[in-house]
Structure 1
Amino acid sequence: MANPIQFVQQVRSEVSKVVWPTRREVALTTFMVFLLATLAAIFFFFVDWLIRTGLTQVLSFFGS
């Protein structure tokens, strides 16, 4: 088992190797996530609306 001091030194060494994203990269990827989530929501809204409308038409045709 490693010494706790060595462990902390190794953790600091590994963390220093991490390449952190820039503020611009974070903002851009956040914007893209919100944009794609909005587009997916709009797409599935219309798919749901089409299925609901089609089923309503079919059921009303056979219902009465």
Structure 2
Amino acid sequence: MFLIIRMALYTASSFLAGYGYAVHDAEAGTLTLNLDQIATFLGSAVVFIGTFITSRFARRR
């Protein structure tokens, strides 16, 4: 289970860096996040997870 979570976090971090949502400045030692775009991504992820959980509850009944 932890391996799946870790792989999901790796995928999410590469997605954020690849699309420019997160920018690392090595000289300053900072990580800059674009919150407007990340909020859109997180909102869609919450809806996706919510529908998945709802379908699991509906399937049990």
The structure carrying a bigger strand percent of its residues is: 2
Report the structure number with the largest CA radius of gyration: 1
TM-score normalised to structure 1 length: 0.43
Higher relative contact order (CA 8 A, sep 6+): 2
The structure carrying a bigger helix percent of its residues is: 1
TM-score normalised to structure 2 length: 0.44
